[in-house]
Amino acid sequence: NKSKARKSAQLYYPNAEGIDVANGILYFVSKKDEDLFILDLDRGTYERKIVREEGIDVSPDQLVRLGGDDGIMYLTEDGGGEAGIHGRDAQGRYFTILESPIYKEETTGLAFSPNKKHMYLAFQKNGILFDVWRKDGKKFDGGSLNVKYHRQ
């Protein structure tokens, strides 16, 4: 029943946002608890990842998953000292795409061009939109160069 489902959701994954699905795997975040949930829809199993315990100090919000099994999950941030966009590779390693020491509010509106060569994002409070591309001309769905991971 709907009432029980809402109570369960509030208890186990409060303020759920940022949902995406790829290759039979559904991803979403709990903003309040700063968790990432990974549901295998074919097997009926799930994992709960506590983002801060995985070596990255962010409050995850929206997410977008690009690529196949070895793809990258991009996460927006719910605000903080240097809000930005972060990535999580297929091995569960986190890295930062960009951060702003100027705009400290929530990053939002994450989207990619059809050819995956442009990333679009906004800093919500200021209403500033950005079009970001890689200097090497590659797509955002793989082929990373010189990535510094938060925890090895």
Q: Output the pLDDT for position 145.
A: 56
Q: Output the pLDDT for position 151.
A: 65
pLDDT tens profile 46-100: 999 888 887 777 788 899 998 877 888 999 988 766 788 998 888 888 888 888 8
Residue 26 pairs in a beta bridge with: 21, 39
pLDDT tens profile 97-152: 888 888 878 899 999 999 999 999 999 888 899 999 988 888 888 766 566 667 65
pLDDT tens profile 131-142: 999 888 888 887
Q: Output the pLDDT for position 144.
A: 61
Write phi, then psi, for 7 (nearest 5 degrees). -65, -40
What's the whole-model pTM score?
0.86
Q: Which one, of 89, 77, 94, lies nearest residue 142 by Cα?
A: 89
Q: Output the pLDDT for position 83.
A: 84
Q: Output the pLDDT for position 70.
A: 80
Q: Output the pLDDT for position 20.
A: 92
Q: Which one, of 90, 107, 98, 104, lies nearest residue 18 by Cα?
A: 107
Q: Output the pLDDT for position 146.
A: 61
Q: Which residues contact 98 (CB under 8 A, 6 or more apart)?
A: 84, 85, 132
Amino acid at position 89, single letter: D
- Direct distance between the N- and C-terminal alpha carbons of the chain, in angstroms, rounded to an integer: 44
Q: What is the dihedral of CA 104, 109, 115, 117, to 10 degrees?
A: -10
